[in-house]
Amino acid sequence: MDLERDFYCQLEILGQLPSEEGREKALKAVFAAMKSLMDAGQSKAMAAALPEWLEPKWSDDTPAQTVNGSADPLERVKILGEYTYRGAADRVLQAVLGSLVEVLDAFAKERIGRSIPETLAPYWGQANSCSMSENMGQFL
Amino acid sequence: MQKEFMAVYDAVTMHPDHLTTEKLEGNLGGFGSFNLAIWAATNIIAEEMQRGRKMKLDVANEAYTDVDEIARKVTSFLQTYGADPSNSSVVTAALLYWAGVNASAGIPTPNRKLGGVCRIAAGAPGGRVSTLPTEKLNNKISGFAAVLAIYEALQKEHLAPFDPTLLPVGLAGSPVLGHSALGEDYLFPTLVKKLVPIGVNAMLKAYRSVGIKPCRFMAALFSTAATLEILHPDAYLGEEYGPFLRTRTPDLCGQVAVEAAGLPEVLHVRGTGDELKTAKVVGDLGLVLKDAGAPTVVGMIMFNEVNAIIQEGPIVGVGRGGGPILLPLHHWVTQPSLVLYALGHGASEDEAVDILKRSIDGYFQREDANIAINLLAHRARQLKRGPVSDVLIKATEPGKVKTLSNRIGNTLKKFEDGLGLADVVDTVEKEHISTTQLGVAKIMSNILGKNVEYVKYENVRPCSGRRKAKIAQKFFAFDGHVDIEVKVDGKVYTYDNFLANWAPKIMMEADEENLPGMAAVCLGVTDLLNSGACSANMVICACVAVAMGMDPKEAADKVAEYSNFQLSIPAQSLYDSAEYTARILKEME
């Protein structure tokens, strides 16, 4: 499987997102929420660490709804993605980060880890792809 | 009129079954149904989730996992209220699935499957797909259709992609076949692609042969289950079919079944906007059915209604309790299942309340549906209270109070304006029909993808002329008469005495010219026939008549006589609430 296909396949399964529309919406909401929590330097570092086929999605500056107030990443994903409950926002945030983990090399992962803001760090630290989440521990 | 208002309000709401023509207590022994126990049992699952129980099947090196424990509590509870062990098993598995539990885990020991876990927890015997009935859609069929067709195919031709007599000694059951390229890339995918469509088509054909509109969802599930009885149900597949550790034979069965049955690739969960991959749901629930025991038709009705949280349910054949029609109350379990889904997927209580309220918008009679959900929630809470009941009541209580207050106030005003009881009943029923008409035009346009500009249900009353029995001439549900006019995509269809004349004519003559009109109006007719599920209007009429001075028995008798369709069957609740109105008023004087 090529990496791009693998990424979207992981996103579909982890995020419970079988439609392309749903995956694009999730990606846009999560990236917009992450960017809204980063300064310019952090955002630039993130863009540089992403695969080149994904970087345009990060740099897409289509105006997203403004998110004020809470710095809670889940609340921001919920608002930006117009999800009806926090659990859905949590699921897509974890899915996007987990799918990234699967396709990034160690250098890129480390670079993102250094640039990610404090509020997102726990989510990044727990990000698991399909092969790592849920089933991985069963065989250890 | 405050005293009269209070007396009527209390009389109609004091017991949940005062607002329905149905006999709720009859459900508590398992005779016919056990839906109230399911409503209550969802509280057990939600409480366990809130205690931090692990809602996942895994291969933990423990004799019993959290899911085993929860399944034991839930199946035991359901059986207390009369559920057959296998019925308790299949329903518990479906509830746990929608609460977030995965359908299977593991390859080696321990290998856990949700259907099997629930069957063992329930103490139910093992079953086979050939004896598994579908839910009742007037008639019903069984998995025998799929099993027969699949085994006939096995006898007629060699389906494996190689000659197994060439396999070296000792390879039967070996990982060389089961867990490597030979099985995962060749044998299993080949068999899935050949067997599943055979089973699906056999089920669809059997449905058609006995006059049931083919249920694509159940055909897909049953064929998946029948195929997995033959195939290795835990084997992984080559990565061309999906990521490793996430793609097994049930997933491919689901994918092939979805294609064969013509199901949409994506479904949605009511009120949430959440997407579901249809293939995944079919694969998972098909696997559950394979292992869950030997459910009866009642169990399969409940199984399907639990699954009716799927928004596209009316289109693909997943239950009927989620809307748009009011169902007899003993079918309804969709709402607690939906709340369980929401809580299990991380919704807060307030978010779950909003999700449930949004889901009620999908009914023709939104207010009556809200009342029906509320009264079932209250009755079930008397069996077992908990987080699901809290959400259900918080979501529906304000709407119920608003609806009943308005209706009681309006009915009192009608009497004050000088209308007699017969005219009041007639006016109230016409208002109800008007709401149904608006709901049908709006919702059927969406369901059919056509422009249902308007529909008129007229002359709605008992006695179409088909039956001579006196009771049939008294109650709409026994021999209903309705004239209909509907405009669909610019064409007007008129049907006089629809149920007795036109429905049989269109179907017996395969009258394609009139089918578009019939498709647009039928669910609305069903809604009228089922309107006794929430009999609030007629109960209020009787109680207000009592409040205005009429004798309780006379008021109930008169309402039963004047009602053309909303008391679709005889109802003791009408007499009870009228009598309580008089009793309360007497004490208040």
Residue with tokens 């009859």: B26
Give the distance from CA B318 to its chain's centroid.
Answer: 7
Residue B277 φ/ψ, nearest 5 degrees:
-80, 115
Give the distance from CA B247 to its chain's centroid.
Answer: 29
Are B251 and B265 spatial neighbours (Cβ–Cβ below 8 Å)? no
Are B39 and B28 spatial neighbours (Cβ–Cβ below 8 Å)? no
Query: Distance between CA B314 and CA B524 in Å, rounded?
Result: 13
**What pLDDT, on a 0 to 100 scale, did the predictor assign at position B450?**
96
CA atoms within 13 A on the CB side of A137: 9
**What pLDDT, on a 0 to 100 scale, did the predictor assign at position B534?**
93
Query: Terminus-to-terminus CA distance in chain B, angstroms?
Result: 13
Q: What percent of chain A has pLDDT over 90?
A: 50
Are B427 and B458 spatial neighbours (Cβ–Cβ below 8 Å)? no
CB-CB neighbors (< 8 A) of B265 in chain A: 18-19
Calculate the alpha carbon distances from B447 to B1, B490, B491 in Å.
Answer: 44, 17, 18
Measure in Å the smallest separation between the Cα of B354 and chain A Cα atoms.
Answer: 8
**What pLDDT, on a 0 to 100 scale, did the predictor assign at position B403?**
98
SS3 call for B139: strand
Query: Distance between CA B46 and CA B51 in Å, rounded?
Result: 9
Query: Distance between CA B499 and CA B455 in Å, rounded?
Result: 16
B171's enclosing H/E stretch is none
Measure in Å the smallest separation between the Cα of B352 and chain A Cα atoms.
Answer: 8
Tell me if A136 and B245 make a contact (CB, 8 A cut-off): yes
CA nearest to B231, candidates B294, B303, B124, B159: B159
User: Residue A139's pLDDT band (boundaries 50, 70, 90)?
Assistant: very low
Q: Is B125 exposed, middle or buried (0-12, 13-18, 19+ CB in 10 A)?
A: exposed
User: Residue A66's pLDDT band (boundaries 50, 70, 90)?
Assistant: low
CB-CB neighbors (< 8 A) of B355 in chain A: 84-85
Tell me if A16 and B102 make a contact (CB, 8 A cut-off): no
Q: Which of B56, B102, B354 is nearest residue A84 as measured by Cβ atoms?
A: B354
Q: Which of B105, B239, B351 is nearest residue A138 as measured by Cβ atoms?
A: B105
Preceding peptide of B110 cis, ω within 30°: yes
> How many A/B residue pairs have CB atoms within 8 Å?
83
Rg (CA), chain B: 26
Note whether A46 contacts B: Cβ–Cβ < 8 A: no
Note whether A16 contacts B: Cβ–Cβ < 8 A: yes
Query: Distance between CA B450 and CA B197 in Å, rounded?
Result: 30
Measure in Å the smallest separation between the Cα of A103 and chain B Cα atoms.
Answer: 13
**What pLDDT, on a 0 to 100 scale, did the predictor assign at position A133?**
52
**What pLDDT, on a 0 to 100 scale, did the predictor assign at position A130?**
66
Note whether A138 contacts B: Cβ–Cβ < 8 A: yes
In the structure encoding, which two tokens stand for residue B109, read together? 């020991």
Q: Model confidence over B510-547: pLDDT tens digits?
A: 999 999 999 999 999 999 999 889 999 999 999 999 99
Measure in Å the smallest separation between the Cα of A41 and chain B Cα atoms.
Answer: 33
- In this structure, which amino acid lies at residue B482? V
Query: Any idea what DSSP says for residue B513?
Result: T
Measure in Å the smallest separation between the Cα of A34 and chain B Cα atoms.
Answer: 21
The ranges of chain B with pLDDT < 70 are: 31-32, 107-109
Tell me if B272 and A138 make a contact (CB, 8 A cut-off): no
Neighbour-count burial for B551-566, b at 16+ CB within 10 Å, e otherwise:
ebeebbebbbebbbbb
User: Residue A61's pLDDT band (boundaries 50, 70, 90)?
Assistant: low
Residues 83-112 of A with CB under 8 A from B: 83-88, 90-91
Find, in chain B, the residue whose alpha carbon is nearest to that of A84: B272
Tell me if B345 and A91 make a contact (CB, 8 A cut-off): yes
**What pLDDT, on a 0 to 100 scale, did the predictor assign at position B29?**
83
Note whether A134 contacts B: Cβ–Cβ < 8 A: yes
Q: Which of B56, B239, B348 is nearest residue A85 as measured by Cβ atoms?
A: B348
Tell me if B239 and A1 make a contact (CB, 8 A cut-off): yes
User: Residue A64's pLDDT band (boundaries 50, 70, 90)?
Assistant: low
Measure in Å the smallest separation between the Cα of A16 and chain B Cα atoms.
Answer: 6
Q: Is the model's pLDDT at A103 over the cut of 90? A: no
Measure in Å the smallest separation between the Cα of B100 and chain A Cα atoms.
Answer: 12
Query: Distance between CA B578 and CA B587 in Å, rounded?
Result: 15
Tell me if B102 and A22 make a contact (CB, 8 A cut-off): no
CB-CB neighbors (< 8 A) of A135 in chain B: 105, 245-246
SS3 call for A63: coil
Residues 6+ apart with CB under 8 A from A106: none
Query: Distance between CA B553 and CA B565 in Å, rounded?
Result: 20
**What pLDDT, on a 0 to 100 scale, did the predictor assign at position A140?**
40
Preceding peptide of B324 cis, ω within 30°: yes
Residue with tokens 């863009």: A47
